[in-house]
Amino acid sequence: MDAKISREEVRHVANLARLDLSEAEQERMTGQMNGILSYMEKLNELDTTGISAMTHAIELQNVFRPDRVCPSLDRKEALQNAPGSDGINFVVPKVI
Amino acid sequence: MTLHSLSMHEIHDLLLARKAGAVEVVSAFLQRMEAVEPKVNAYISTLGERALDEAKLFDEGKKDFASSALAGVPIAIKDVICVRGIRTTCGSRILENFVPPYDATVARKLDDAGMILIGKTNMDEFAMGSSTENSAFAKTRNPWNLECVPGGSSGGSAAAVAADLCAGSLGTDTGGSIRQPASFCGVVGMKPTYGRVSRFGLVAFASSLDQIGPITKDVEDAAMLLQTIAGHDPRDSTSVNLPVPDYRSTLRDSIRGLRLGIPREYFIEGTAPEVVSAVRKAIDTYRELGASLVDISLPHTEYGIAAYYIIAPAEASSNLARYDGVKYGHRVEGAKDLMEMYRRSRSEGFGAEVKRRIMLGTYVLSAGYYDAYYKKASQVRTLIRKDFLDAFEKCDAIVAPVSPIPAFRIGEKAEDPLQMYLSDVFTLPASLAGIPGISVVCGFTSERLPIGLQILGPHFREEVVLRVAHQFEQATPFHREKPPIG
């Protein structure tokens, strides 16, 4: 079986996904993703030339609404689940 | 007959006739929980006191049993649906302490109907799984055999109904997560058409597939519960503004002459012989009920798994990017900078299957692979949808198995994600197409594990699906069987 994804690529994808994987997790993930992605090869049995891609289960049209202020969460409620907050803002580690 | 074993409509009849009080009904379930819940682990949170307080309002005359068809009836909700002020975890460490500041639209509708919430049910983390083994908190057990899984991802909701730990429940179905656990637990589970029920306040897994639906003891309950939650919601722009028919009123209309499609691709090698035989017998029952049976083909069925396990993880990788430890959810201690905070919070907070799907989704959407995977899968999705549209030219509903296998042993597939994915073969196509489907019990294996019959209908024709399911249920004894637990 051709490897679909290398250990190096797994590290790269984990970085894109903002996940830290241990050496053992990387090893396992590489094996499992190779198994799963090889199975996906099955789709290449189908010629899909000219078939449009389906993005939704039903026909959807853009939904407009009036640009009107409606009741929304107040600040206290919006902050109540925050791991870090000063009562007015979300607080995170220094960025710059 | 004990109160906890009754259907929702039977309980409501007793309440209306003053033959039972709301506190009495809630207490019956709380007692049942004390005896049985430690064996089954159907719940993440139980809400006994809150439920009793609600029930008292009815018994004191401050709320009226006649205010809706299900007023005063206890219900459980899958822990992926937000209820204001009630911890909602999605079965994940990353949301272990999340308390939503608002109600999901379905939670609001149940409350408006006077239904009494008695608990939030266990599930695979973020609804990713087919066995409820991926919950960060507990493994739910199948009430029919405690060594077996209840199915997933709505395994807690299905097990709670089967074990009489609630009168009915809500689950969610992205690729079979209502129908398959209903099948494994021998109860009724319905996935409505995509867009029939608002997803506002449902924590997103795969937004083009997720749908909320009822899990109940009989089809009449499913019709009534769907009636309660269905309809357009301005807060979910993918919910559809179509009239909602009266589902209960047409359950008994004759199915004589109704054309039922039997898809040959759903009777393939690899399906357990006992499942095939039970479904074949169910088809005979439909013949006796006067339905006309039509052989149909859904030629792209075998591509459903590959398409689904590209599309759903792709959407999940995007939806789960929001868990960054900033506005809510787990945040790691002592991170030096923002990037470290993101990475370590996510790595600690998510379990193995969620990480695997985020990785798969990120990969198939990444530069250079998008066309080969995501675009290809979305084109195949078009073909799968067309299979159903073509089939519904020849038939009014489709009858098939829900799962190729009955409930499997806990741990049996846990080490091999692809094997777990392959067991979803018969539920994924309907999800990809967005059509409604139901599972009703149609027999038992020699080991007394339930077998589910799947009925699928055209978009927004839930009333046909419910009617076809109801007539089978009423013509057969299976739904009256109870698991040997208590």
Enumerate the domain spans of chain B. 3-258+437-480
Q: Can you tell me whether residue B96 is helix, strand or coil?
A: coil
Residue B356: the pLDDT is 97
Residue A2: the pLDDT is 65
Residues of chain A contacting B305 with CB distance shorter than 8 Å: 39
Residue A95: the pLDDT is 80
Residues of chain B contacting A14 with CB distance shorter than 8 Å: 359
Question: Which of B457, B481, B452 minimizes the C-alpha distance to B468?
Answer: B457
Identity of the residue numbered B286:
Y
Could you tell me the pLDDT band of residue B247, with boundaries at 50, 70 and 90? very high
Residues of chain A contacting B370 with CB distance shorter than 8 Å: none
CA dist B152 and B91 (Å) reads 12
Element at B421 (helix H, strand E): helix B417-422
Residues of B serving a catalytic function are: 78, 153, 177
CA dist B23 and B74 (Å) reads 10
Residue A61: the pLDDT is 77
Contact check, Cβ <8 Å, A48/B337: no
CA dist B123 and B89 (Å) reads 10
Q: Label residue B193 exposed, middle or buried (CB < 10 Å: 0-12, 13-18, 19+).
A: buried
CB of B377 within 8 Å of a chain A CB? The answer is: yes
Q: Which residue of A has its CA nearest to B416?
A: A32
Question: Which of B223, B211, B78 minimizes the C-alpha distance to B150?
Answer: B78
The minimum CA-CA distance between B177 and chain A, rounded to whole Å, is: 17
- A-facing residues of B in 35-74 (CB < 8 A) are none
CA dist B193 and B191 (Å) reads 7
Residue in this structure with the two tokens 């029952």, named with its chain if needed: B285
Residue in this structure with the two tokens 């009423």, named with its chain if needed: B474
The minimum CA-CA distance between B102 and chain A, rounded to whole Å, is: 8
Contact check, Cβ <8 Å, A93/B101: no
Which of B237, B360, B375 faces A53 most closely, judged by CB atoms? B375
Contact check, Cβ <8 Å, A54/B418: no
CA dist A58 and B64 (Å) reads 38
Identity of the residue numbered B389:
L
Residue A96: the pLDDT is 75
Contact check, Cβ <8 Å, B237/A42: no
The minimum CA-CA distance between A45 and chain B, rounded to whole Å, is: 9
The DSSP line for B226-282 is HHHHBS--TT-TTS---PPP-TGGGTTS--TT-EEEEEGGGS-TTS-HHHHHHHHHH
Residue B162: the pLDDT is 98
CA dist B145 and B484 (Å) reads 8
Residue B369: the pLDDT is 92
In this prediction, residues B333-343 reach a mean pLDDT of 94
Q: Which residue of B has its CA nearest to A73?
A: B101
pLDDT in tens, B131-189: 999 999 999 999 999 999 999 999 999 999 999 999 999 999 999 999 999 999 999 99
Phi and psi (nearest 5°) for B44? -90, -40
Which of B194, B325, B375 faces A58 most closely, judged by CB atoms? B194
Residue in this structure with the two tokens 């299976």, named with its chain if needed: B478
Let me know if domain A7-45 sits in CATH 3.30.70.20.
no
Contact check, Cβ <8 Å, A48/B237: no
Q: Which fold has domain B3-258+437-480?
A: Amidase signature (AS) enzymes (3.90.1300)
Task: Name the stretches of chain A with pLDDT < 70.
Answer: 1-2
Q: Can you tell me whether residue B51 is helix, strand or coil?
A: helix
Chain centroid to CA B8: how far? Answer: 17
CB of B297 within 8 Å of a chain A CB? The answer is: no
CA dist B389 and B402 (Å) reads 20
Q: Which residue of B has its CA nearest to A16?
A: B362
Residue B4: the pLDDT is 97
Contact check, Cβ <8 Å, B382/A55: no
The mean of the pLDDT values for chain B is 97
DSSP B191: E
Chain centroid to CA A70: how far? Answer: 30
* Chosen from A30, A40, A65 to mutate, greatest number of chain B CBs within 10 A: A40
pLDDT in tens, A59-79: 777 888 889 998 889 999 999
Please say if the pLDDT value at position B407 is more than 80: yes
What tokens appear for B198 in the block? Answer: 């608002």
CA dist A40 and B430 (Å) reads 19
In this prediction, residues B2-28 reach a mean pLDDT of 97
CB of B96 within 8 Å of a chain A CB? The answer is: no
